[in-house]
Structure 1
Amino acid sequence: MFKKFSTEEVSAQNQVKASVQRKIRQSIADEYPGLEQVLEDLIPKKSPLIVAKCQNHLNLVVVNNVPLFFNIRDGPYMPTLRLLHQYPDIMKKLQVDRGAIRFVLSGANIMCPGLTSPGGSLDDEVGAETPVAIMAEGKQHALAIGFTKMSAKEIRDINKGIGVDNMHYLNDGLWKSGYIVALATSLSFAAY
C-alpha cells in the first residue's frame, strides 16, 4: 500500500470540524480501547486535526503535524508504525517466522505458512478483516501493520494463500516520509 508513497500523493488536506473530529476520536477509541488513557494527549480536543486525502482512497489523520492514523475507504483506522512502536499493546498481534521477515519488509503480503510454522504465532481471537500488528520471531517491535483476509482459525486450518494484507511496513513510503508529510502539512497551512 505505502511502498512508493510520497507527499505528491496527498491531493487535499482539510482541517476538520469539531463534530468530525469527535467522530474520528470515537471511532479510534472504539477500535483501540488500549489508547483511551492517552487519546487526549494524542488527539487533543483544542488542537487542529487534519485529514490528508491521498490517492487510492487513503486518508491520513495528522495531529500536530504528525501522521498518527490512516484508513482506506472509510474502513477502520489503523495506527502508523511510529505510533504502534510507542504504544505496542493497542493492537492484536500475529507473528511471522524468521524466513518471512525479508519478504514482509519488501512489502509482500503475509502468507498463512509464515504464521503457522514453528516460529509463527496466531492469536485465536483475531477475526477476518481485522487490523493487526505483524511481529517477527525474535524481534521486539512490530515490523508491519496488516489487515486479515481470514480469521486465525481459518489461517490455521487452510494454511495456504494470503492470510494478511500488508498495509504499512518498516521503511515503506509512509515510514520514510512520515515527517515529510508533517512538514508539508504545516507549510501548506502556514501559507494562509
Structure 2
Amino acid sequence: MFKKFGKDEISGFTQVKASVARGIRSSIGEQYPFLAESGVLDVLMPKKDPVFVAKTSSYMQVAFMNEVPLFYSDRDNHWFPTLRILHQYPNMMPRLRTDKGAIKFVLSGANIMCPGLTSPGATIHDEVDAGTPVAIYAEDKEHAMAVGLTTMSTADMREQNKGIGVELMHHLNDGLWKTLKMA
C-alpha cells in the first residue's frame, strides 16, 4: 500500500476539526482497547493537540500528530498503527508469525500466503476472524515486520492452507516507514 508513499503521493494535508479528531481517537480506542485502557492513547494523541490527516492518491488517510505519522486508515475505516507505534506497544493487536521463507517476500510488499503462516516455523499466536488488522512477525525476530488485514479467519487458514491469508498494508522500509516527519 505504501510502497511509494511520500509528499508527492499526498493529495491533501489538513488539520481536522476537534470533532473529527475525537472520532478518530474513539475509533482507534475501540479497535485497540489496550491503548484506551492503559492510557497510551492519551499519550500518543493528546486531546488538546491538533490532528492532521493526509489523504493519499490510493484512498488511504494517515493521521499525524506533531508531523509524525501515527495511524492510517483504509476505505473500510480500519485504523492501523504505523510500525513505529507497533514497535513501542507490541501487545496492542493480534499477532501472526511467518516462517523464514516468507520474510523476503513480505519485505518486498507481497501479500502473505496461508502456507507461510501454517508451516512448521510459523505460529498463529491469536485466533482472529476475517477482516481483522494483525501484526506480522517473522520467525526468530523480536519486532513486527508488517501490518496487514486478514482475508480469512485463522481457522480457515489452517484448514484451506492455500491462497492469500493476509493482505499486506504496511511493512518495514516502505514509504510510510521512511516518513519520519512531514516537514
Same fold (TM over 0.5): yes
Partner of 2:16: 16
The question of whether the paired residues in 2 share the 8 Å contact of 1:123 and 1:152 is answered with no
The question of whether the paired residues in 1 share the 8 Å contact of 2:95 and 2:126 is answered with no
Per-residue CA deviations over 1:38-72 (Å, capped at 9, x if unaligned) read 11111111111001111111100001110000011
Unaligned runs of 5+ in 2: none
Q: CA RMSD in A?
A: 1.0
Partner of 2:162: 160
Matched residues, percent identical? 58
Letter in 2 for 1:23: G
Query: Judging changes above 3 Å, is the alpha-carbon distance between structure 1 residues 66 and 124 closer, same or farther for their aligned structure 2 residues?
Result: closer
Deviation at 1:125, TM superposition (A): 2.3
The question of whether the paired residues in 2 share the 8 Å contact of 1:112 and 1:156 is answered with yes
After superposition, residues 1-192 of structure 1 pair within 5 angstroms as 1-36=1-36, 37-176=39-178, 178-180=179-181, 182-183=182-183
Alignment coverage as a number of residue pairs: 181
Per-residue CA deviations over 1:101-143 (Å, capped at 9, x if unaligned) read 1110111110000000011111452110110000000000000
Unaligned runs of 5+ in 1: 184-192
Aligned to 1:107, the other structure's residue is in SS state coil
Query: Judging changes above 3 Å, is the alpha-carbon distance between structure 1 residues 86 and 56 closer, same or farther for their aligned structure 2 residues?
Result: same
Partner of 1:187: none
State the TM-score, normalized to the length of structure 2.
Answer: 0.96
Give the Cα separation in 2 of the matches to 1:149 and 1:73.
15
Deviation at 1:75, TM superposition (A): 1.9
State the TM-score, normalized to the length of structure 1.
Answer: 0.91
Give the Cα separation in 2 of the matches to 1:128 and 1:54.
25
Deviates more, 1:90-99 or 1:121-130: 121-130
